[in-house]
């Protein structure tokens, strides 16, 4: 394939192993190599920004976080969705009443203080996170994204109460609560403007339902083998899992980096 000018990497389950939670050495070497070749790299993750500092140490100067709701480039905020305080308070009150956990993506990561098994499972599966976020007693912080931790049936009361709001599920128990369009592909559009690249010159790696729009939007989308079949269906190429050196193998097999660097 033609060498891309920019590559977008999902993090959890794509760059990091879903088994160890760590970035394999092969992926670190691959990232270093593509940067040396002048290819720009961007993280595109569901994580809040506060959980992305280790990525900056790897050389990621552009970070799409909170599923596209918050973007930083060279240390500056270049895009940030914003949730109105009044609506945030309404959602918070209803979640507390229903005894559902809720997370808030500010520059840091918060939750409403309700600890459930669903919350623990969601944090582990989505971010390999074993501790709950910080407690947010009231919506005093600028929030870029809210997520409800609910199953399908549990979501129905919210859909009835807020018919004008988009509830976007990207995990069996995690739902984005959107008052404006937020997605990784929407954030990628903003990043491409900064670099002055076309979407056809971009490549992306992902493994989750929140990566589907990103894989479709760029010129060449790669799904990890650990991705659900519904995600793989939207990619042009399927590589090995992150734990089995999927990033390195894809870049080698697609002719972007040489095999000899392994």
Query: The tokens 């959602």 sit on which residue?
Result: 91
Q: What is the pLDDT of residue 259?
A: 83
Residue 147 predicted with pLDDT over 60? yes
Burial environment of residue 160 by CB neighbours within 10 A (0 to 12, 13 to 18, 19 or more) = exposed
Q: How far apart are CA 40 and CA 144, in angstroms?
A: 25
**Which residue spans within 155-219 are E strands per DSSP?**
166-171, 174-178, 202-206
Strand partners, 111: 103, 135
Average pLDDT over residues 254-260: 89
Q: How far apart are CA 101 and CA 120, in angstroms?
A: 10
Tens of pLDDT, residue by residue over 3-33, are 999 999 999 999 999 889 899 999 999 999 9
Tens of pLDDT, residue by residue over 219-249, are 999 999 999 999 999 999 999 999 999 999 9
Q: How far apart are CA 236 and CA 20, in angstroms?
A: 27
Q: How confident is the model at residue 121 (pLDDT cuts 50, 70, 90)?
A: very high
For the chain, domains (ranges, CATH) are 6-80+183-261 (3.40.50.1000), 85-178 (3.30.1240.10)
Q: How far apart are CA 102 and CA 93, in angstroms?
A: 11
Q: What is the pLDDT of residue 136?
A: 83
Q: Is 152 helix (H, G, I), strand (E, B) or coil?
A: helix
Q: What is the pLDDT of residue 81?
A: 92
Give first-to-last CA distance, the chain, whole Å: 20
Q: What is the pLDDT of residue 230?
A: 96
Q: What is the DSSP letter of 68?
A: G
Tens of pLDDT, residue by residue over 53-103, are 889 989 999 999 999 999 999 999 999 999 999 999 999 999 999 999 999
Q: Is 60 helix (H, G, I), strand (E, B) or coil?
A: coil
Q: How far apart are CA 259 and CA 246, in angstroms?
A: 13
**Averaged confidence pLDDT in the chain:** 94
Closest by CA position to 199, among listed 212, 185, 183: 185
Average pLDDT over residues 250-259: 94
């Amino acid at each position: 394939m033609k060498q891309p000018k920019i590559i977008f990497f999902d993090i959890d389950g794509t760059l990091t192993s879903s088994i160890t939670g760590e970035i394999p050495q092969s992926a670190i070497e691959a990232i270093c190599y593509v940067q040396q070749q002048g290819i720009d790299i961007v993280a595109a993750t569901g994580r809040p920004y506060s959980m992305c500092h280790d990525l900056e140490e790897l050389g990621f100067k552009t970070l799409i976080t909170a599923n596209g709701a918050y973007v930083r480039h060279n240390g500056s905020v270049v895009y940030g969705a914003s949730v109105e305080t009044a609506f945030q308070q309404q959602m918070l009150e209803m979640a507390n009443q229903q005894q559902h956990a809720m997370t808030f993506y500010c520059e840091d990561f918060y939750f409403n203080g309700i600890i459930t098994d669903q919350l623990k499972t969601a944090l582990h599966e989505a971010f390999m996170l074993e501790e709950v976020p910080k407690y947010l007693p009231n919506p005093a912080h600028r929030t870029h994204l809210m997520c409800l931790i609910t199953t399908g049936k549990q979501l129905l009361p919210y859909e009835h109460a807020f018919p004008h709001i988009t509830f976007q599920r990207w995990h069996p128990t995690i739902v984005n609560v959107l008052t404006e369009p937020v997605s990784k592909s929407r954030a990628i559009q903003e990043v491409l403007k900064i670099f002055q690249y076309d979407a056809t010159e971009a490549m992306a790696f992902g493994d989750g339902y929140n990566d589907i729009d990103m894989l479709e939007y760029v010129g060449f989308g790669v799904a990890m083998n650990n991705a659900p079949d519904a995600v793989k269906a939207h990619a042009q190429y399927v590589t090995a899992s992150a734990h089995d050196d999927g990033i390195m193998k894809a870049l080698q097999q697609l002719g972007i980096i040489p095999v000899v660097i392994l």
